Amino acid sequence: MNDAMLSHPEDLKLSGMVKNFDIRNEEAIKSNLSYIEFFELLLRNEVLSRWNNGNIKRI
């Protein structure tokens, strides 16, 4: 992901999406995922990242 693309998710506080973008992009290419399926993967990663971070903060 280039710098311009990174700034938008970071501005929106979507760090989980930024962290996993390259990995998920490669998976999407290899699996011939649609744009919607790819976006769903990114969103799922963001939700899991926030859930994990919340649990870490509570410990």
| Residue 23: predicted pLDDT | 92
Q: Give tens-digit pLDDT for 19-59.
A: 888 999 999 999 999 999 999 999 999 999 899 888 777 77
2 or 47, which is more confident?
47
**Secondary structure, 3-state, 4-59:** HHHHHHHHCCCHHHHHHHHHHHHHHHHHCCCHHHHHHHHHHHHHHHHHHHHHHHHC
| Residue 1: predicted pLDDT | 67
